[in-house]
Amino acid sequence: QVQLVESGGGLVQAGGSLRLSCAASRSIFSINQMAWYRQAPGKQRELVAFITKSGYTNRADSVKGRFAISRDNAKNTVYLQMNSLKPEDTGVYYCNAFEPAWTPNDYWGQGTQVTVSS
């Protein structure tokens, strides 16, 4: 089990950048997968990007070429670098830790708001 705390959200102009941080309460070295999700107003939460313990990454088509997920195991932190932000990127961004051996098998942070103005 793990506690996750997101930070780094805020208001940014279209075309700008933000870096979100997800600080974990324990080592993330052995966690199967860390991910970022987001939820826009009136929409369902969606996967933005994930990174596995082996370092494999992937991201949603809508953010390819603009967002990148990374981890710093020494700092127990996962990052989401967001560049070329668009108004449609607006939403609450959540950090998620997934491990099939856990019960429950995933944990969520409280979320951080990202607002992109036109």
pLDDT reported for residue 52: 97
Percent of the chain with pLDDT over 90: 99
pLDDT in tens, 92-103: 999 999 999 999
pLDDT bin (cut points 50, 70, 90) of residue 59 is very high
pLDDT bin (cut points 50, 70, 90) of residue 1 is confident
* Residues in CB range of 75: below 8 A, 6 or more apart: 23
Question: In degrees rounded to 5, what are phi and psi of residue 62?
Answer: -65, -20
13 has a pLDDT exceeding 90: yes
Q: How many CB atoms lie within 10 A of CB 109?
A: 22
pLDDT in tens, 38-52: 999 999 999 999 999
DSSP state of 74: G
Between strands 77-82 and 91-98, the pairing is unpaired
